[in-house]
């Protein structure tokens, strides 16, 4: 039985994604801070998983955290998988797309809004659909 609704081979993911998005979504990479196209992006619309198109965040969930990556205070319910991450000598919570398993970033409990959360997401793991 498949773990995710959308599963592809490594070669299929490589052909479907640009190299940076493949590195992040499929190999758990991280883009350099302050370089992603959605870091300081505040248009109205929906942020989707670049791997499968699943809606993950809406623009009203986004805020400027100063951390260098797009930040959200919550996610669309049921769209994110939370995974304990003990890499790099830290204990963090990795966030992945619940539809395809693509790595998005991490969630931290230092957010400034009432949720207290900061979803720190790589721009290269996202696509944006502007609200009409």
CA 18 to chain centre: 16
Q: pTM value? A: 0.95
Q: Is 97 a catalytic residue?
A: no
- Residue 111 token pair: 């957010």
Q: Give the domain ranges of the chain.
A: 10-130
In the prediction, which pLDDT does 132 show? 75
CA distances from 10 to 25, 57, 94, 104 (A): 11, 26, 21, 17
pLDDT per residue as tens digits for the range 30-78: 999 999 999 999 999 999 999 999 999 999 999 999 999 999 999 999 9
The predicted model gives 83-99 an average pLDDT of 95
Residue of 49, 96, 97, 120 with catalytic role: 120
pLDDT per residue as tens digits for the range 108-131: 999 999 999 999 999 999 999 998
Taking the CA atoms of 61, 66, 67 and 68 in sequence, report the sign of the dihedral they define. Answer: positive
> Model confidence at 21, in pLDDT bands (50, 70, 90)?
very high
In the prediction, which pLDDT does 114 show? 96
10-130 has which CATH code?
2.170.150.20
* Structure letter (DSSP) for residue 100: T
Which of 68, 69, 101 lies closest to 82, judged by CA? Answer: 101
pLDDT surpasses 80 at 2: no
> Model confidence at 1, in pLDDT bands (50, 70, 90)?
low
pLDDT per residue as tens digits for the range 78-90: 999 999 999 989 9
């Amino acid at each position: 039985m498949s773990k995710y609704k959308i599963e592809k081979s490594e070669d299929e993911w490589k052909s479907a994604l640009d190299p940076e998005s493949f590195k992040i979504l499929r190999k758990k990479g991280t883009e350099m801070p302050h370089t992603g196209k959605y870091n300081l992006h505040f248009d109205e619309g929906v942020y989707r998983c670049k791997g499968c198109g699943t809606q993950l965040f809406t623009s009203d969930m986004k805020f400027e955290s100063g951390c260098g990556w797009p930040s959200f205070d919550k996610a669309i319910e049921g769209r994110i998988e939370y995974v304990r991450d003990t890499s790099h000598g830290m204990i963090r919570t990795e966030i992945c797309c619940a539809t395809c398993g693509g790595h998005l970033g991490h969630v931290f409990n230092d957010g400034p809004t009432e949720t207290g959360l900061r979803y720190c997401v790589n721009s290269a793991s996202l696509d944006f659909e502007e609200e009409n």
